[in-house]
Amino acid sequence: MAVHRLVATAWHNVLATIAPVLTVADGDTVITETLDAGGSDRDGVRRWHGPNPMNGPIAVDGAEPGDALCVEIVRMSPIRATGWTRSVLAPNVVDPQRARDLPPRETATWLIDGDAGTVRLEHSPEGLEHLVLPLAPMIGCFGVAPSLGQAFSTATSANNGGNMDYRGFGPGCRVWLPVFVPGALFFLGDCHAIQGDGEIVGTGVETSFEVEVRLSLDKRRSLEWPRGETADAIFTAGNARPLDQALQHATTEMLDWLMADYGLNATAASHLMGQVVRYEVGNVYDPAYTMICKIEKRWLPKRRGQ
Amino acid sequence: MAVHRLVATAWHNVLATIAPVLTVADGDTVITETLDAGGSDRDGVRRWHGPNPMNGPIAVDGAEPGDALCVEIVRMSPIRATGWTRSVLAPNVVDPQRARDLPPRETATWLIDGDAGTVRLEHSPEGLEHLVLPLAPMIGCFGVAPSLGQAFSTATSANNGGNMDYRGFGPGCRVWLPVFVPGALFFLGDCHAIQGDGEIVGTGVETSFEVEVRLSLDKRRSLEWPRGETADAIFTAGNARPLDQALQHATTEMLDWLMADYGLNATAASHLMGQVVRYEVGNVYDPAYTMICKIEKRWLPKRRGQ
Amino acid sequence: MAVHRLVATAWHNVLATIAPVLTVADGDTVITETLDAGGSDRDGVRRWHGPNPMNGPIAVDGAEPGDALCVEIVRMSPIRATGWTRSVLAPNVVDPQRARDLPPRETATWLIDGDAGTVRLEHSPEGLEHLVLPLAPMIGCFGVAPSLGQAFSTATSANNGGNMDYRGFGPGCRVWLPVFVPGALFFLGDCHAIQGDGEIVGTGVETSFEVEVRLSLDKRRSLEWPRGETADAIFTAGNARPLDQALQHATTEMLDWLMADYGLNATAASHLMGQVVRYEVGNVYDPAYTMICKIEKRWLPKRRGQ
Amino acid sequence: MAVHRLVATAWHNVLATIAPVLTVADGDTVITETLDAGGSDRDGVRRWHGPNPMNGPIAVDGAEPGDALCVEIVRMSPIRATGWTRSVLAPNVVDPQRARDLPPRETATWLIDGDAGTVRLEHSPEGLEHLVLPLAPMIGCFGVAPSLGQAFSTATSANNGGNMDYRGFGPGCRVWLPVFVPGALFFLGDCHAIQGDGEIVGTGVETSFEVEVRLSLDKRRSLEWPRGETADAIFTAGNARPLDQALQHATTEMLDWLMADYGLNATAASHLMGQVVRYEVGNVYDPAYTMICKIEKRWLPKRRGQ
């Protein structure tokens, strides 16, 4: 199981069936530096244009449609001392009449101290002088080539992943994505030093990271939507608008997962989900919104075959 | 500050301007036993019909439109050894085509052990034999009389509260509701021994509780939507459909709160919310869905006047 | 079948179970003058406050829950030479970011010539000097007392009718409303001289009318949502948000109607609806939006029992 | 202005930047035979797979990003004596609980008589024996290559057009599409002999047509969403979910059109739209729904420069 270092020299603004820049074996690890959402690199030099330029694609040898690609986010190290955010709530996340009163949306700079593990505004407005946030790295946008020769902007998300902006997609998380094309064709970028739920200012703290991911295959594991696992929980992700529909997708995927892998029938799965499920909100800024359906492992029955 | 014991002999299925059964002073405490969502009491005797029969209303002396009523949930003690749930996910929370495959929705009985602090199915389906959940009491439906002489079914929710089914509305939580009529006219009922996010089977574990609440007034504190506070966080609640709109209401209310009470301008409030906000999902089963917008207190500036 | 003249001296801002001001027999006609949406009468004198003050309620002798109340809109005569509109698109009907650029919402006066049958702006902005619209009267808000003791603001709509703002609710239209309380308790008001689909500036041309309606009962005709009929078509109305859900309600009601009264099974009804149905949009401004599902009579099979 | 006959030998299931099979001059006409939604040709032979195989792309010489491509639908002649539909309402267009009761979705055959101009079921279920519908041809799916190298399934729609399934897209209609890539790259297919609003059974009467379109350029005419014109009206199309958002897009595009081409300011445009606009519903079956915003020409001021 090799470790590859991918140095990107061109980037992509779509997730699509594009010739891979790297092919790895099932189980290999890839280390790569990402640009921020606007295309700037570790030195703040603009290398590509937005939205969300992606490194990749990386092909995984042996991946076939109908498999699942497991992406283990091993490590995310910030490699720039600054990040940026939009300064005002997006007009679509407040009441329509209230949106009219918001000030213009500008850009703010944040200082990232990787050693101290902190993130804070360079120029704090009055009342936020105290605000020192913990570094909480996450990958905003990652995914695989979609089905049918489709190509989706990295500004949105779908069943192949994409710009989900869920703060849970950080180190220690494993994510399974449905494979639609040979090699799977994995892309990643748009990393955040921290981000609240919903990405409601339209950004997290956008910066460059060195990311280490391990890519492996679950052969013939059919998924409709991305699934994930942390030390404590399993979860599914639905991407759609309105949030109601994203929630339907995530809930259905969890139902299917519990029935397929945990030996529960629909009633048993419903009992479990009804009393212990947690929903978390990814992006509510993009064309497609993201809803997470999560269950803590302590409530799960033993997984089949384990 | 007196303690009142309210023994209900009739119940209401609407939140409305109805003659109060009890009038208390600002700061008084009320202890009362609630029926479950279907109208059964501590002995399992059906005393009233659904949906969600309410105790009350309780008038608070001196409450005027434009004030906020603070409801402190002091204690919730289960008073029946059983509760019930629906047995299958609601058709509106799964993909439409998937809804067709779900089994019929029946009723299941759960055993509640108040001393042990546990909740579990009376008859566990295969795979859930291990499942012993913690008792996690919450008030599913509570609120005040709405504006304009309106009367809302206890099956739904609005800016006056109602059937929000947010699991955070448990002991230790304080909730502020906008007052629309003299006396505020507070109602409560529909308590759950535990409930997952979304109330996605259409119920939590529905049972009877003895509830102790302290009712006090914040004079001339104008709210658009319910607000709440726990030991660690403040939050707002938006009730609407789709969830996107509930999220807009909750987000706008949090913005207004930060600007009015924490001395932040719209930009500073946006910076804070953008990077630390958490959304939690209340009911996604009722006519109106509920979205919670939450911020941990550790990120807040000092509150004005404190 | 008597003709009653109802002279209102008080008005209501909710549809609710309120003591009737008039009781009529099944099949009687009522003639009454309505205030405009803001509460002004035929002389422009403000007699009541908004939203949408209602005349009524009118009880229909013998109406029982489970019946349908048939409202035949016989005649609508404008009784004031002016009406008014809001001057700018509502922020919720345009893209959120575009809402920020709209000018402030003011009020404009329109001239209504009942004899000529025309409606035009008193002061035409540049480019609209030519605009002379036809008088196209409609009742913006009408309905019956809702179930369960509920009371709904006349700013919104539900299964009992309310502020649907559908331009099809004009002379020659018959509307069936589900009866929830003895006597049905019918309310009406908020008439418009003309209105585009969606009521997207938040108003039609709001003015006072003399309205003549005939009220009759269809005993034991169970409806979930309002139904209507014109010379050429039958239609159903769904009221909810988002429009997707209003469309679901209206579509389901049409399916049920075709199956119950026209002898079609679900497949036959689907074939018919799939190829001939028309949707029309009522209000998209209020808390609940309105979608109409319509079928021209020429496509319908013979109605059972006719 | 030449007339080209395009005989397709391969088809596409995405709208994308693909090498053109034909390049035409500004103003040229193209005649081509389309497959039905499932890929069958004039002889009922399956030539390609679904969803909605497209002829094309056709490049228009001189088309550049920022232009508009005008598609004039000159003629649509049915070339097969049969078409097909799904037999039952789609589960997403009825109330979720009602969806559970619908019968299984099968396929039905319809007879198309091009000479008589009629469409009817081959085997009429009871009650529909009388049903002879008029031939009302429309193009279900057409559009141009999207921006940014994106590629969208022909099962959905976006600002580049796609599977809008609006019954107004028939002979006599002109449609403008925003051009995102050199040559515009126009695709078409999925024609219907008739279809109700919403495509609520998931299909119109799907069959093969010979279609004649004239393609011309409006240089430097910047659009956000498709626009159209018939003999009597102008209209815009918004594609998104929920319908509320599709309506926002279409309404905003109409506002922009009236301001740019008809010399109205935002207030004047609002006055006009508020009282005369009509909404029509395209597809409510696909991932993206389609809403049409329409104004009859008789209400419009003189167009600038005309």
Contact B14 C240 (CB under 8 A): no
Separation between Cα atoms, residue A67 and residue A23, nearest integer Å:
17
Helices (H) then strands (E): counts for chain B: 3, 21
CA dihedral C243, C280, D251, B290 (to 10 degrees): -10
Residue B135 pLDDT = 98
Min Cα distance C240 → chain A (Å) is 14
**Could you report the per-residue pLDDT of D199-229, keeping only the tens digit for each?**
999 999 999 999 999 999 999 998 999 999 9
Quick one: B166 and B52 in the same domain? yes
Cβ neighbours of D91 in B, within 8 Å? 96-97, 99-100
Half-sphere exposure of D277 (CA within 13 A, CB side): 34
Residue D304 pLDDT = 81
Separation between Cα atoms, residue C161 and residue B44, nearest integer Å:
38
Contact D198 C268 (CB under 8 A): no
- Residue C263 sits in a domain whose CATH number is 3.10.28.20
In a domain, B139, yes or no: yes
Q: Does the pLDDT at position A141 exceed 80?
A: yes
Using the 3D structure, point to which of D134, D154, D169 is the last residue of a domain: D134
Chain B and chain D share a number of CB contacts under 8 A equal to: 24
Residue D1 pLDDT = 85
Quick one: A240 and A190 in the same domain? no
Q: What is the mean pLDDT of residues C208-237?
A: 97
Element (H, E) at C234: strand C233-240
Nearest residue of D to residue A156, measured between CA atoms:
D150
Chain A and chain D share a number of CB contacts under 8 A equal to: 41
Contact C149 B14 (CB under 8 A): yes
Q: CB-based contact (8 Å) between D265 and chain B?
A: no
Min Cα distance A99 → chain C (Å) is 7
Quick one: D148 and D56 in the same domain? yes
Q: What crossing angle do the helices spanning A243-261 and B243-261 adopt, rounded to 10°?
A: 110
What are the backbone dihedrals phi and psi of residue A238, each rounded to the nearest 5 degrees, phi first? Answer: -115, 135
Q: CB-based contact (8 Å) between D102 and chain B?
A: yes
Q: CB-based contact (8 Å) between D104 and chain B?
A: no
Separation between Cα atoms, residue C294 and residue C251, nearest integer Å:
9
Quick one: B139 and B210 in the same domain? yes
pLDDT bin (cut points 50, 70, 90) of residue A304 is confident
Residue C206 pLDDT = 98
Length of chain B in terms of residues written: 306
Using the 3D structure, point to which of D183, D218, D253 is the last residue of a domain: D218
pLDDT bin (cut points 50, 70, 90) of residue C278 is very high
Strands B278-281 and C118-121, how do they pair? unpaired
Q: CB-based contact (8 Å) between A50 and chain D?
A: no
Half-sphere exposure of C94 (CA within 13 A, CB side): 25
Residue B306 pLDDT = 55
Interface-testing mutation among C150, C163, C225, C243, with chain B (most B C-beta atoms within 10 A)? C150
Q: Does the pLDDT at position A296 exceed 90?
A: yes
CB-CB contact of A197 with A136 (8 Å):
no
Contact D265 C85 (CB under 8 A): no
Tell me the sheet residues that pair with A189.
A54, A141
Strands D29-33 and D209-218, how do they pair? antiparallel
Separation between Cα atoms, residue A47 and residue A12, nearest integer Å:
12
In a domain, B106, yes or no: no
3-state secondary structure of B200: coil
Q: How many CB atoms lie within 10 A of CB A109?
A: 12
In a domain, D33, yes or no: yes
Output the CA–CA distances (angstroms, integers) from residue B191 to B169, B206, B210, B282, in the order listed: 10, 6, 9, 14
Interface-testing mutation among B87, B271, B295, B299, with chain A (most A C-beta atoms within 10 A)? B271
Min Cα distance A28 → chain C (Å) is 44
Contact B148 C14 (CB under 8 A): yes
In a domain, B88, yes or no: no
Min Cα distance B249 → chain D (Å) is 17
Quick one: D265 and D127 in the same domain? no
Q: CB-based contact (8 Å) between B105 and chain D?
A: no
Quick one: B67 and B20 in the same domain? yes
D81: which residues sit within 8 A by CB, 6+ positions away? D111, D112, D113
A76, with CB counted inside 10 A (0-12, 13-18, 19+), is buried
Q: CB-based contact (8 Å) between C255 and chain B?
A: no
3-state secondary structure of A291: strand
**Could you report the per-residue pLDDT of C69-126, keeping only the tens digit for each?**
999 999 999 999 999 999 999 999 999 999 989 999 999 999 999 999 999 999 999 9
Q: CB-based contact (8 Å) between C238 and chain D?
A: no
What are the backbone dihedrals phi and psi of residue D305, each rounded to the nearest 5 degrees, phi first? Answer: 80, 5
CB-CB contact of D95 with D101 (8 Å):
no
Q: CB-based contact (8 Å) between B195 and chain A?
A: yes
Strands A29-33 and A3-6, how do they pair? parallel
Q: Does the pLDDT at position C166 exceed 90?
A: yes
Quick one: D52 and D11 in the same domain? yes
What ipTM score was computed for the predicted complex, to two decimals? 0.97
Q: Does the pLDDT at position C305 exceed 90?
A: no
**Could you report the per-residue pLDDT of C121-160, keeping only the tens digit for each?**
999 999 999 999 999 999 999 999 999 999 999 999 999 9
Contact C266 D101 (CB under 8 A): yes
Element (H, E) at C98: helix C96-99
Separation between Cα atoms, residue A64 and residue A181, nearest integer Å:
6
Quick one: B168 and B280 in the same domain? no
In a domain, A265, yes or no: yes
Say what the pTM is: 0.98
Output the CA–CA distances (angstroms, integers) from residue B90 to A252, A281, B154, C256, D92, in the order listed: 11, 20, 18, 22, 15
D68: which residues sit within 8 A by CB, 6+ positions away? D176, D177, D178, D179, D217, D218, D221, D222, D223, D227
What one-letter code names the amino acid at C16? A
Q: CB-based contact (8 Å) between C197 and chain D?
A: yes
Query: What b/e string do you get for B32-65 counting C-beta neighbours within 10 Å, with b at 16 or more?
Result: bbbbbbbbbbbeeeebbebbbbbbbbbbbeebee
**Could you report the per-residue pLDDT of C243-257, keeping only the tens digit for each?**
999 999 999 999 999
Residue B194 pLDDT = 98
Contact A89 B125 (CB under 8 A): no
Separation between Cα atoms, residue B163 and residue B177, nearest integer Å:
13
Using the 3D structure, point to which of D197, D218, D239 is the last residue of a domain: D218
Q: Does the pLDDT at position A247 exceed 90?
A: yes
Separation between Cα atoms, residue B269 and residue B263, nearest integer Å:
9
Quick one: B186 and B281 in the same domain? no
Contact B96 D92 (CB under 8 A): yes
Q: Does the pLDDT at position D305 exceed 90?
A: no
What are the backbone dihedrals phi and psi of residue D59, each rounded to the nearest 5 degrees, phi first? Answer: -90, 140
Strands D3-6 and D29-33, how do they pair? parallel
Nearest residue of C to residue A243, measured between CA atoms:
C242
**Into how many domains does chain D fold?**
3
In a domain, D304, yes or no: no
In a domain, D108, yes or no: yes
Nearest residue of D to residue A158, measured between CA atoms:
D287
Quick one: D25 and D166 in the same domain? yes
Which residue range(s) make up the domain with B283?
A: 227-298
Min Cα distance B59 → chain A (Å) is 31
- Residue C71 sits in a domain whose CATH number is 2.60.120.580
Min Cα distance D162 → chain A (Å) is 13
In a domain, A286, yes or no: yes
Contact A152 D148 (CB under 8 A): no
Contact C91 A100 (CB under 8 A): yes
Q: Does the pLDDT at position C298 exceed 70?
A: yes
Contact D301 C130 (CB under 8 A): yes
Contact B125 A271 (CB under 8 A): yes
Q: Does the pLDDT at position D106 exceed 80?
A: yes
Element (H, E) at C6: strand C3-6
Min Cα distance D12 → chain A (Å) is 9
Residue A306 pLDDT = 55
Min Cα distance A148 → chain D (Å) is 7
Separation between Cα atoms, residue D118 and residue D112, nearest integer Å:
6
Residue C1 pLDDT = 85
Nearest residue of B to residue D97, measured between CA atoms:
B91
**Could you report the per-residue pLDDT of D138-187, keeping only the tens digit for each?**
999 999 999 999 999 999 999 999 999 999 999 999 999 999 999 999 99
Length of chain D in terms of residues written: 306
Q: CB-based contact (8 Å) between A242 and chain D?
A: yes
Q: What is the mean pLDDT of residues D100-117?
A: 96
**Could you report the per-residue pLDDT of D224-253, keeping only the tens digit for each?**
999 999 999 999 999 999 999 999 999 999
Cβ neighbours of A246 in C, within 8 Å? none
Quick one: B139 and B266 in the same domain? no
Contact D96 B100 (CB under 8 A): no
Quick one: B50 and B150 in the same domain? yes
